[in-house]
Amino acid sequence: MTMYYTPDHEWLDVEGDIATVGITNYAQEQLGDVVFADLPKVGRKVAKAEATAVVESVKAASDVYAPLSGEIVEVNAALADDPSLINSDAGGKGWFFKMKIADKAELTGLMDEAAYKAHTA
């Protein structure tokens, strides 16, 4: 399990060829109270940097981008009933989707935790 981060404040946890994707704690703090998450359909093929999900808060709606190219293999159905999981556990139970990675070489453009912390400082 290896964590990566994007400049757009998504995190991904990579295990084998599956990446679990969510938004960072920094992103959820900027959004405020999350009221809705629009998740992609399982089986959807996405390109790196493609808008894949939407998170809506009392302040704004924001796109969640695919950090890599691949196929959506699972979505977090719990978010439909309780979108506040994104606020309470952005880096855990508040994940958005899991995707099968099409090209692991795309991981080289992502940040590790130290680089992401510097990016948001």
pLDDT of the residue at 91: 95
Query: What pLDDT, in 10s, does the model give residues 44-88?
Result: 999 999 999 999 999 999 999 999 999 999 999 999 999 999 999
pLDDT of the residue at 113: 94
Ordered DSSP codes for 56-109? EESS-EEEEE-SSSEEEEEE-THHHH-TTHHHH-TTTTT--EEEEES-GGGGGG
Do residues 83 and 3 touch, judged by C-beta distance below 8 A?
no
Q: What residue ranges define each of the domains in the chain, with the CATH number in brackets?
A: 2-103 (2.40.50.100)
Do residues 65 and 51 touch, judged by C-beta distance below 8 A?
yes
Express as a percent the part of the chain with pLDDT over 70.
99
Q: What is the largest CA-CA distance in the chain?
A: 37
pTM of the predicted structure, to 2 decimals: 0.95
Distance from C-alpha of 12 to C-alpha of 105, rounded to nearest angstrom: 15
* DSSP H or E stretch at residue 28: helix 25-31
According to DSSP, the β-strands at 2-5 and 10-15 are antiparallel
